[in-house]
Structure 1
Amino acid sequence: MITSFYMPTRIVSGSGALATLGTLARDLKMSRVLVVSDPVISAQGFHADALAALSEAGITVSRFDECGIDARCSHIDDQGERVRRDRIDGVVCIGGGSVMCTGKGIAIVATNQKPMAECTGVGQFDRKALPMIMVPTTAGSGSEVSQWTIVKDEVRHLKLLGGGPLSFPDAAILDPVTLRSLPMHVAALPAVDALTHGVEAYLSGIASPLTDAVALAAVRLQAASLRASINSDDDRARENNLVASCMANIACGNARLGHGHALSLPLEGHLDLPHPYGVGVLLPHVVTFNLAVLPAKVRPLAEALEVETAGLSRQEMISACADAIRALYADIGFPTRFTPGQLPRDRVREMAQRAVPGLYAGIAAKDFDPASANDRTLIASPAARKMTVRQAEEIFGLCVA
């Protein structure tokens, strides 16, 4: 099997790294930037420090602070036009996954001069995105090192993925100062998202020794630091968690994401379920499902999750992996099941059918008729084990309280 590993983003990490923002922007030949954020982050002291660093470097700053829970095509298209009109030559994102996906989308449409919906799918645009610097304020999505952006098409109620090598961010700044103000319940959501990235990369059918090494190291670092990062005032744990989430995305950016993300997609698009809830609740079930066909990967994953494996059979280790994830959830206040309001039981079958196109279908998903899927229809996914609609329906059923 031929594999590929590519990571062009420059990563600057550590306490005080945010002070390098102005220098990085100058190195990328930025002179007029759009700073993308949200109303909460833009009110933080570190956001003001970042703007000051850009101004001190002689860079003209424009702002868009209206990002919401999802990156929305309407925001991206409007701001892409603004960037072209105002001759802005760089995008700086300060925020979580939705902010970074919004900024990435803006950088894509600004140079390709077509709506974001037409840029979704794999490599569906020809021009390199504007230079981008990412400052993540959650240890979660890892979008700061990802070529992909996930956006919501509000008109068709679809979650769409777009990207390719032309949309990698140019630089990422990982500074634990950005995590200090996060309440526990807020910090837990992106942290779980990051954990799913590392685990699903490891369980991918196109994983390689390179991606396995990065994915396992990310999971190990997350398991060791996540509780302290969220539950205590521990800057070192926050820094480790930021680095781990970045590593997890490097792994899944090359090995791709699996069933958890494919099954979560219709829940997000049609039931408005926040992304971390979808992938996080599904994760223990995805682990159990895929490890059944990956015997050589069971013990390494269990040990990365801090499972004491001595004396355990392979099946016991698989169960212990799922239990370790649930125990971690309990310690950080993350749910293990969907409420009936989040996923009504009478829509479980429909959601399983809607999951068939998978994460990487892009705009082609709009042409899929869910009613055409039967029990044996396969969910499109690079995961190591193939999953049918019937199996997806069963997993959804296990996830509803």
Structure 2
Amino acid sequence: MITNFYMPTRVVAGPGALGTIGTLARDLKMSRVLVVSDPVISRQPFHADALAALAEAGVAVSRFDECGIDARCSHIDDQGARVRREGIDGVVCVGGGSVMCTGKGIAIVATNNKPMRECTGVGRFDRKALPMIMVPTTAGSGSEVSQWTIVKDEERHLKLLGGGPLSFPDAAILDPVTLRSLPMRVAALPAVDALTHGVEAYLSGIASPLTDAVALAAVRLQFGSLRASINSDDERARADNLVASCMANIACGNARLGHGHALSLPLEGHLDLPHPYGVGVLLPHVTAFNLAVLPEKVKPLAEALEVETAGLTRAEIIEACAESIRALYADIGFPDRFTPDQLPRQRVREMAERAVPGLYAGIAAEGFDTASVTDDTVIACPSARKMTVRQAERMFESCLA
């Protein structure tokens, strides 16, 4: 198998790293930037510090502070036109995954001069995105080192993914100061999202020794620090979570994401389920499903998930992996089931069918017709084990409260 590992983003990590933002902007030849954020983050002291550092470096700043829960095509298209109109030559994102996906989308459409929905899918644009600096304020999505952006098409109730090598951020700043304002229980949502990235990268059918090494290290670091990060004021644990979430996305950026993300996508697009709930509730189930065909990976992942494997059969270790994830959820206040409001039982089959195009279909998912779907139709997904629609339906049912 040919291995292809690529990650061009410069990562600056540790306490005080935010102070380098002005120097990084100058290094990237930025003279006028759009700073993308949301109404909560834009009021935080570290956000003001970032703006001051940019000004001190002689970088002019325009702002967009209206990002919401999802990155939206309408925001991206409007701000992309603004960037072209105002001669802005760089994008700086200070926020969580939705903020970074919004900024990444703006940087893509600004140079390609077409709507975001026409840029979704794999490599469906020709020009390199504007230079980008990412400052994550959650230890979660890892979007700061990802070529991908996930956006919501409000008109069609779809979640779409777009990206390619031309849309990698140029620099990422990982400073634990940005996590101080995040309520501890709220922090659990992006942290679980990051955990799914590491696990799914490890269970991918296109994983390599390079991605396995990064993915396992990310899972081990995050699993060992997540409880302290969420349940106490532990800055070292928060810093570890930031680095772990970044590593997890480096792994899945090369090995791709699996069934948890493929099955969560229709729940997010058609039922408005927040992304971390979808992938997080599914994670114990898709982990056990894929480990069943990866015997050589069972023990290493179990050890990263802090499972005591002595005296256990392989099947028992796989179940213990799922239970270890559920125990973590209980300790940090994250649910392990979907409520009837989140996933109505009568819509389970529909969601399984809508998952067939997979995460990486992009705009092609819009025209997907479920009329031809059968129990044996396979969900498009790079995970090591193939999953049929009937298996997806059963998995959804096992996730119901």
**TM-score of the superposition, structure 2-length normalised?**
1.00
Residue type of the partner of 1:86?
E
Task: Say which SS state the counterpart of residue 150 (structure 2) adopts.
Answer: strand
Question: 1:68 — aligned with what?
Answer: 68
Render the CA deviation track for 1:289-309: whole Å, top value 9, x for unaligned: 000000000000000001111
**Consecutive unaligned residues in structure 2, runs of 5 or more:** none
1:253-268 superposed matches below 5 A: 253-268=253-268
Question: 1:145 — aligned with what?
Answer: 145
Render the CA deviation track for 1:345-389: whole Å, top value 9, x for unaligned: 000000000000000000000110123211000000000000000
Residue type of the partner of 1:369?
D
2:325 paired with 1:325: yes
Render the CA deviation track for 1:287-340: whole Å, top value 9, x for unaligned: 010000000000000000011111111011100100000011011100000000
**In structure 1, C-alpha distance between the alignment counterparts of 2:20 and 2:303, rounded to whole Å:** 37
Render the CA deviation track for 1:4-43: whole Å, top value 9, x for unaligned: 0000000000000000000000000000000000000001
Task: Say which SS state the counterpart of residue 185 (structure 1) adopts.
Answer: helix
Question: 1:378 — aligned with what?
Answer: 378
Task: Say which SS state the counterpart of residue 361 (structure 1) adopts.
Answer: helix
Question: 1:228 — aligned with what?
Answer: 228
After TM superposition, give the deviation of residue 185 of structure 1 in Å.
2.1
Residues 152 and 158, structure 1, Cα contact 8 Å, conserved in 2: yes
**In structure 1, C-alpha distance between the alignment counterparts of 2:215 and 2:5, rounded to whole Å:** 13
**In structure 2, C-alpha distance between the alignment counterparts of 1:329 and 1:16, rounded to whole Å:** 31
After TM superposition, give the deviation of residue 122 of structure 1 in Å.
0.3
Question: 1:55 — aligned with what?
Answer: 55
After TM superposition, give the deviation of residue 164 of structure 1 in Å.
0.2
**In structure 1, C-alpha distance between the alignment counterparts of 2:371 and 2:70, rounded to whole Å:** 27
Render the CA deviation track for 1:181-223: whole Å, top value 9, x for unaligned: 1112210000000000000000000000000000000000011
Residue type of the partner of 1:78?
D
**In structure 1, C-alpha distance between the alignment counterparts of 2:312 and 2:219, rounded to whole Å:** 21
Question: 1:209 — aligned with what?
Answer: 209
Question: 1:345 — aligned with what?
Answer: 345
1:173-252 superposed matches below 5 A: 173-252=173-252
Question: 1:123 — aligned with what?
Answer: 123
Question: 1:41 — aligned with what?
Answer: 41
Question: 2:281 — aligned with what?
Answer: 281
Residues 353 and 371, structure 1, Cα contact 8 Å, conserved in 2: no
Question: 1:162 — aligned with what?
Answer: 162
Residue type of the partner of 1:166?
L
After TM superposition, give the deviation of residue 88 of structure 1 in Å.
0.2
Show structure 1 runs of 4+ deviating over 2 A: none
**In structure 2, C-alpha distance between the alignment counterparts of 1:124 and 1:382, rounded to whole Å:** 20
Question: 2:136 — aligned with what?
Answer: 136
Task: Say which SS state the counterpart of residue 353 (structure 2) adopts.
Answer: helix
Question: 2:108 — aligned with what?
Answer: 108
Residues 22 and 54, structure 1, Cα contact 8 Å, conserved in 2: yes
After TM superposition, give the deviation of residue 146 of structure 1 in Å.
0.2
**TM-score of the superposition, structure 1-length normalised?**
1.00
2:311 paired with 1:311: yes
Task: Say which SS state the counterpart of residue 166 (structure 1) adopts.
Answer: helix
Render the CA deviation track for 1:125-169: whole Å, top value 9, x for unaligned: 000000000000000000000000000000111100000000000
Question: 1:3 — aligned with what?
Answer: 3
Question: 1:24 — aligned with what?
Answer: 24
After TM superposition, give the deviation of residue 3 of structure 1 in Å.
1.9
Question: 1:360 — aligned with what?
Answer: 360
Residues 151 and 159, structure 1, Cα contact 8 Å, conserved in 2: yes
Residue type of the partner of 1:335?
P
Question: 1:390 — aligned with what?
Answer: 390
Identity across aligned pairs (percent)? 87
**In structure 1, C-alpha distance between the alignment counterparts of 2:13 and 2:202, rounded to whole Å:** 24
What do you get for the CA RMSD once the two structures are aligned?
0.5
Render the CA deviation track for 1:210-265: whole Å, top value 9, x for unaligned: 00000000000011011111111111100000000000000000000000000000
